[in-house]
Structures are given as structure tokens and as C-alpha cells.
Amino acid sequence: MQGWQIRVRGQVQGVGFRPFVWQLARARGLRGVVLNDAEGVLVRVVGALGDFAEALRDQAPPLARVDAVEVAAVVLDDLPEGFEIVASGGAGAETRVTPDAATCPACLAEIRGEGRRRGYAFSNCTHCGPRFTILQSLPYDRARTTMAPFVMCPACRAEYGDPADRRFHAQPIACPDCGPRLWLEAGGVEVAGDAIAAAAKRLKAGEILAVKGLGGFHLACDAANAGTVDLLRARKRRPAKPFALMAREGDLERIVSVSPGALAALRDPAAPIVLMPSRGVLPETVAPGVAELGVMLPYTPLHHLLLDAFGGVLVMTSGNLSGAPQVIGNDEARDKLSAFADAFLMHDREIARRLDDSVVRVDPPMVLRRARGQVPGTLPLPPGFETAPQVVAYGGQMKAALCLIKNGQALLGHHLGELDEALTWEAFQQADADYAGLFDHHPQAVAIDLHPDFRASRHGAKRAEALGVPMIAVQHHHAHMAACLGENLWPKDGGKVAAIVLDGLGLGPDGTVWGGELLLGDYTGFERIAWLKPAALIGGDRAQLEPWRNALVRLDAAGLSDLADRLFPEAPRDLARQMAMKGINAPLSSSAGRLFDAIAACLGICPMRQSYEGEAAMRLESLASETGPGPDLPVVAGEIDPAPLFQLLAANEPPARIAHALHASLARAFATQAAQLIESGRAQAVVLSGGCFQNAKLATLTRKMLAGQRILTHRSIPANDGGLALGQALVAAAKLEGN
């Protein structure tokens, strides 16, 4: 028979796309089949197509993302009399895997209603529920997920097979009779009775619970109980880092100021943690020294039921020892979280891969941590990269994430963490094997950071050698620039940009540590135009932990050694100065992150030691409530000298004014230099990248200084090292294709 073969590419598996096609075809009287396969969704059909192909794109299900609908005339045989969904064809992975999605309104109403799923913690349908966290291999079918052990009961089987039901071909379908089971456990013994009610009672009594979610365990407690929050801090050894919160939508306005944009982000199927201004209602110990709270809505039926029963706001932080990966297994939780949790709210559905909660800000819009709900969604490559070879890139040492390029798409992996931590390193290796297998990836090149001693770099070098493929080392800040270009679909031949890249550190080709740079370049190369005047990182890595070291060297350089002596009387200043003078374990660095640490230390903000990465800078941003331009920073032969900022300290300016001046002066200094590149015609746009641009005040001020210019920023991938691998992969692909 003469017919049509229609290929649908994109995020089209696990989103109810096949039942959607079935209903569309039946309504039009078409005959044929639809199936999942290695490339997406395949439709074979005979009959008058009409607007069928257009409807596949325009009327797609809520979680679908259609990249392409390709129609070809073919000769077909062995088609059924009507239209059917048939078994998936072939292994492989040329299509996207759907991220996990928050509970939809229909399922939420169901668990609060009177039907058979009332109070059931694992309700889901084609529009919501677990996806990536339960997927073990492609194509996406129940047998290839951690739902495989749960045999559907007759009632669920009927829903699964009914095209009129929203659970038609919903792979994680479940009910109390046949699906996962929830229980509360204390002291290694299951607690009798309603697990949700018992858990809520314990939370109200001030206990700390380990709660099994989608991508791992959380540690939960009453956010309004300062004593319990302090106890959690003591047990978790997390003295000051802000805790994430979970709250019902009706409780939000009481604790944070919610903008329309923030509410939209909270309601997104990804259900990320959203940073919002605190109203100061909750105890200070929830987020010491910062003006924002990170809040997420309940995103599984279990969370909704627990919040309903508890009736308040919960701390909901990763179930781990600070710095270690999130716990995902029940036995692992009993072993590793028993010192933290008084009881465990557990279930028997396995988690296929650990995923932290994503973190976003909406003003200005940015992703701070790309994880649950956002991965493994793919990103299209910019024009000019259509024929790019398969590349794997391994990112950096901090906020590790890897990236795969294949078939015109980039898959940026989930946030893993700091690779110096042994368990995080294990998770990194597992993610490498996991993504390669899941997406049938066969790299033709490996991209790494220029720093050869990063664990990710060493891993990449070994992999390239084992595969016999080229290894391309990419300078850290060049990768940041390329990542921002790629996210904004800047064409491969789109011309050069002026990239302001401000972060903590990255090895420069001159052997010094960079971190406050203005680069002029594109995907294939760059030149360094301006940079912060270098200062010694006294003690190497210890300078990142102990802000006084950065303050000392900057104050000395500004001719304010006496002030340094007064501010840090207990610090080993003489030894530190000798190290800086002789260059012993004191590499020169232009790091903007360390400049923030230096000013913070001078203002008495955790001067001797930070308890978490970015603590000094975050507190400094919250302190910067003044307005004004700040002093001009002189530029000599490309070096931007921050000494005038330290003169403000000597003049006893108010701390809030000094904190603001740092943001304003730094923004103006780099923006002025970048604008000159645009005006001279050497650059076509300005890129803002690097972890310092997670600072909302700095990002906003820099954009204002560049008003009228074309500005490229990060919105869907992190400006920090979590986006680094995307830039590495693009640079490597551009260089390979240029040879």
C-alpha cells in the first residue's frame, strides 16, 4: 500500500506521545501504527494525511518537545485494519529521555479525592511522575525501568490500555494494590499505621526525618523550629550554608516575596528550588547571613501528602554528609543517614540514578544548579555545528558535570559536585558510563580543562588514550565563553565577542591562575584583553577557604599593611607575607571570586574561614544595599587595579557602601573595556559568564553598564562550572572541524 512514514524527533518518549498520536490518527480515520524506537517516535500510516503532520507538532502533549516532524512517502504492508500502538523497536538512543515531572493537577486532585488512589504516594500519569530517575535503558518502556518488578493489577492494566484514560501507556502507572509501598521506619523497625500521619507527627515534635524522593533522600525538619534546624546543622556538619525549603503554594507569601516569574518557575514541571527574597519570618538559622530563601513546591504525591499532613514549611535538604553525594538506596540510607535522622520515610521503588534538586533564580533569570527536572533534556547546537563529530567533555573540578555532543544536540549532564570528594568521584565515573550507555555515545574526541591535574582532566586523558581519539585541552575561561555562545545559538561563523568571565579560578596559558578576564574570541580561539591585577593566592587552595589571605595580599598591594595588621591580628601574617614575596605555594591570580572574599574579610564576614564555597560572596551581596557608582578602577596595560576599593576601608566608609562599591566598580571597569571592543568593531556582542555572574547584583549592574549593546547571558545552563563541559565540547568540535 502507498502510505507515509512520519518520524518525530525530540522529547517524545515518556510523555504520552504515542497515545496522543493514536487519538489523533483515530479521529482522522487513518490506518497504521505508532511506536517508540531509537530515533524517537515512528508513525506508519495510510490515508489522507490532511493536517496530521502539523498537528503532531502543534497539539503535542504538555511534556513533549518536538524538534522535527519528517514525512516521507513509502510503500507499507502488514498494517492492522485500524490504528494501533505497537511494541518499541530496537535499542539505542537517538532521542531525548524525558526529565522527571512534578505531579499534575489531575493526579493531585485524585490523591486528595475519594477514589482508589486517595492518599497514594505514587500516583502518576502520562503528564507527570518519575522518568529519568527510574529509567535503566532505552526505549522507554516499563520493563526497562525500576517499575518492572511491580506487576500491574487488572484495574491499572485496564487504565493503561484505555486510550480515553490519561494513564494510557503511562509506564510508571501504579495503585495501592500493585505499586510501590510506603512505610515509616525508626530504629530499624517499621512503624505500624499510616506512614504519612506518623511522619508528620514526628516532624511536629521536632524530629528530623530522612525522606525518599525522586532522585534521592532528603533530610526534613520543621523550618520554624530553630532548635531542630540547629540540631540538623550539627548532625550534618553544615554550620551556615542555607537550607532548601519545601512549602505549599498557599504558605509561600508568608515566608518569601513571590514575583509572577518566581511563581511560574515554581509551577514548572521541573519544580526547581527558586531563590526568592526572604520576609524574615523563619529563624535566621535556616539561611544565615543571606537575604534570599531557596524554596520548592511539593513535586511528588508523597511530598504533597506529607506537607498537607504537616501543615507548615519544611527544611528539605539533600540526604548526605555535606559535600558527599545524595543517598539513593534504602540500605545506603540506613547506613549513612542514621546519625542524622530520627526516622525514615521509605518506599520500595528503586532510584536508577541520583539527582539533586535544580536551583534557579528568576531576577535576572539563571540556572544555578542543573539537575532533577531539567536533565537529561538536550540543547540544540548552534548553526554551523550540524555535522559536528561526537564529542565527550568532562568539565572542571568544581560543580562537575559532563557533556555529550551527538547528532546536532548537546546533552549536558546533571550536577555532580566537587571531585575531590571520593564518593562524588565515584558518582562522576558512574555518570560517565551511564550517559555513554544510555545514549549510545561513541566519542570521536575528548575535551578536558587545560589544568592537567583536575581529576576530570586526568580521566579524560585516559579515556582518549584508551579510545585512540584526539584529546583537546580547553582553557577554562574560553570554555565559559563558548558555553554562553552555545546556549545563545551564536553561529559558528558569527564573529568574535567580548567575553567578561568572572569566577574563582582557572589555569591560564601563561601558567597563572585566571578568574577576572575580558576575552576577545570565538569558538576556535581567544585573546586576553583585560584582567584584574593579579595577587598571590597565599597557601594555594587554602586561599579559597580562608578569606583573610586574599585580604592581606590586596591590602598590602594597596599600601594598607597597617590596616591588615589591625584587621587580622590572629592570622600568621609574617609567614603569609614571606610566602607571597618568595612565591612559595602562592601562585598569582586574577580571580574575581578571591577579590570578593578579600573585601568580605575586611568587613568581618567569615574572615578566617568559609564554611561553604561562596559564603563570603553571598553574604557580601546581601550586605550591598547602598547605591552609587563606586570608585573608578584604573586600567594600566590591561590590568584593572582594585586598590581604590580598599582605600574605602581606610576611609571608614559604611560596610554596605563598600559592599555595593565592589559590585558597581567591578561591573563598570569590565563593561567599559568590553564596550570599547564593540565600538571599535572588533566584537559583535558581549558575553557574561563565570560563577560570579550568579551574583544577581553584579549581573544586573553589568547589564546596566552595557545598555544598548547586544548582551549574551546564561539562562538555561549554569554560568558556573556546571556549564563548563558544554563550552569545552563546542570548542573541541569547532577545532576538529577547522582542521
Between the alpha carbon of residue 353 and those of residues 133, 136, 372, 438, 726, the distances in Å are 5, 9, 10, 12, 21
Class of the 1-173 domain? alpha beta
18 assigned to active site = yes
CA dihedral 490, 710, 265, 716 (to 10 degrees): 30
514-519+532-712 CATH:
3.30.420.40
In CATH, what number does 182-360 get?
3.90.870.40
Residue range(s) of every CATH 3.30.420.360 domain in the chain? 383-488+718-738
* pLDDT tens figures, 546-571: 999 999 999 999 999 999 999 999 99
User: Which CATH number is associated with domain 383-488+718-738?
Assistant: 3.30.420.360
Distance of CA 343 to the CA centre of its chain: 29
Tell me, what's the pLDDT at 90?
64
Q: Is the pLDDT of residue 629 over 90?
A: no
3-state helix, strand, coil in the chain (%, to 5): 35, 20, 45
| pLDDT greater than 60 at residue 93 | no
pLDDT at residue number 648: 95
Q: Which residue among 18, 31, 166, 233 is the active-site one? A: 18
| pLDDT given at position 739 | 63
Q: How many CB atoms lie within 10 A of CB 553?
A: 26
Statement: residue 96 has pLDDT above 70: no
Domain(s) of CATH 3.90.870.50: residues in the chain: 1-173
- d(C-alpha 448, C-alpha 310), whole Å: 47
Burial of 461 (0-12, 13-18, 19+ CB in 10 A): middle
* Cα dist from 80 to 32, 42, 86, 242, 609, whole Å: 6, 16, 10, 58, 70
From-to residues of CATH 3.90.870.40 in the chain? 182-360
At 309, the amino acid letter reads: A
Query: Which pLDDT band, with edges at 50, 70 and 90, does 61 fall under?
Result: very high
Cis peptide before 509 (omega within 30 of 0): no
Residue ranges, comma separated, of all CATH 3.30.420.40 domains in the chain are: 514-519+532-712
Please report, for residues 28, 47, 330, 725, 730, the alpha-carbon distance to residue 42 in angstroms, rounded to integers and kept in the order given: 18, 16, 38, 32, 30
* Distant-in-sequence contacts of 557-564, Cβ < 8 A, 24+ apart: 557/533, 557/643, 558/643, 558/646, 558/647, 559/643, 560/646, 560/647, 560/649, 560/650, 563/646, 563/649, 563/650
**Beta carbons of 231 and 208 less than 8 angstroms apart:** yes
Among candidate residues 9, 31, 36, 238, the one labeled active-site is 36
Q: What secondary structure letter does DSSP report for 256?
A: B
CB 71 within 8 A of CB 4: yes
Q: Is the pTM of this model over 0.75?
A: yes
Burial of 635 (0-12, 13-18, 19+ CB in 10 A): middle
The three grid cell numbers given for residue 366, joined into one nine-digit string = 539563571
Whether the predicted pLDDT of 91 surpasses 80: no
Distance CA 179, CA 153 (A): 9
Please write the tens of the pLDDT for every residue from 304-327: 999 999 999 999 999 988 778 899
For residue 12, what is the DSSP state?
-
Place of cell 545514549: 439
Q: Is 36 a catalytic residue?
A: yes
SS (H, E, C) 613-660: CCHHHHHHHHHCCCCCCCCCCCEECCEECCHHHHHHHHCCCCHHHHHH
* Torsion, Cα of 57, 58, 60, 61 (10° steps): 150
* 238-251 confidence digits (pLDDT tens): 999 999 999 999 99
